[in-house]
Structure 1
């Protein structure tokens, strides 16, 4: 079962992917994780990607495609996988079609206004690495948590990311709609409600 989790940044793709990998025993492949690992290891592709990410822009296709192609060739992907954050452009989707077959594209639908609120409210503890939200999931005792906001979680950066998403990534949904592989899911509900619907969809 090869699945693409589709939606704007902050739509809840990562949260749902974690539930689905437990249910179907297939790996989650997040381009965000792949890119962050490459940046942390200061690889050639990682350093190139960092320049674009710091500016709030999408990483070029040739950089992302190279990393994803390597990941899909690993043994744990033989029985399927969940792609989270890829493909982000039609060119990437076309490339993906050449190396594998996508069974379903799950699109999480969340309004832009809610996305901004979700992302700008995120905070990370420098001490523990835990991720909080100042409205939905604040720390029990803020005095014990040295909270910081990621550079790409500011309102200006989020709006820029959403603009890039609408311009470059939304056409990918149309690409898969033509293949009758897309299922649109309301992403504004409680996570457990969304998970239940996704399991029903993928279990058919």
Structure 2
């Protein structure tokens, strides 16, 4: 049984690692964003409660998000294990999650932090560019177009960079996330379930290191 949280700054490669873990271990990948959308679409009581905050432009309180997580973790596809994506973001949420996993008897088995130097992340994140014609996304470092200046999907030649991918915006985003991540890492380190992986290696090697940690359990 693997019940896992992946920690890491934006661009650290959590999404790629998650996909590989799900492929190998066949566990549920639970993203808070998907959970909100699903609960609101299905008009569950917690979904409607969350929607009332979102519609007013307010942040959804931790207690409501936690109720949503509990609702999702009660579903049978999490019985073999799960990866939580986007929750917890704070130690308050981590404490609420402790309560949930205790009640459902689905304790966390691992918290893995993927470490990447901030300068590397700025380079990675600000290398993203998008085709104006079809919206295909590329990355100058990890996923460039096959022919320079030509979109693989539609053959267009017009590209742009999103405002939040510009280096100065990326740097600010990383600072905000770093402040949020540090207390969480401390929290799980004190519990003795935190492992750290070097995220500057190739995606294959990062997954191999993560897999080594998970296969110990």
Question: For this structure pair, what is the TM-score category when the shorter chain's length is used for normalisation?
Answer: 0.7 to 0.9
Superposition map of 1:131-150 within 5 A: 131-140=137-146, 141-142=150-151, 144-145=155-156, 147-150=159-162
Instruction: Using structure 2 for the length normalisation, give the TM-score.
Output: 0.77
Counterpart residue number, 1:22: 23
Cα distance in structure 2, aligned partners of 1:181 and 1:64: 23
CA positional deviation for 1:60 = 5.7
Stretches of 4+ aligned residues off by more than 6 angstroms: 36-41
- What is the count of residue pairs matched by the alignment? 198
Question: How well do the aligned residues superpose, as a CA RMSD in angstroms?
Answer: 3.1
User: In structure 1, the residue corresponding to 2:125 is in which secondary structure?
Assistant: helix
CA positional deviation for 1:22 = 0.7
Cα distance in structure 1, aligned partners of 2:62 and 2:30: 16
Cα distance in structure 2, aligned partners of 1:111 and 1:40: 39
Q: Which runs of 5+ in 1 are unaligned?
A: 53-57
Q: Is the 8 A contact 1:5 1:84 kept in 2?
A: yes
Q: 1:107 to 1:118 in 2, by over 3 A?
A: same
Q: 1:35 to 1:189 in 2, by over 3 A?
A: farther
Cα distance in structure 1, aligned partners of 2:164 and 2:60: 14
Q: 1:33 to 1:148 in 2, by over 3 A?
A: farther
Instruction: Using structure 1 for the length normalisation, give the TM-score.
Output: 0.81
Q: Residue 189 in 1 paired to residue 189 in 2?
A: no
Counterpart residue number, 1:105: 111
Counterpart residue number, 2:104: none
Q: Which runs of 5+ in 2 are unaligned?
A: 102-106
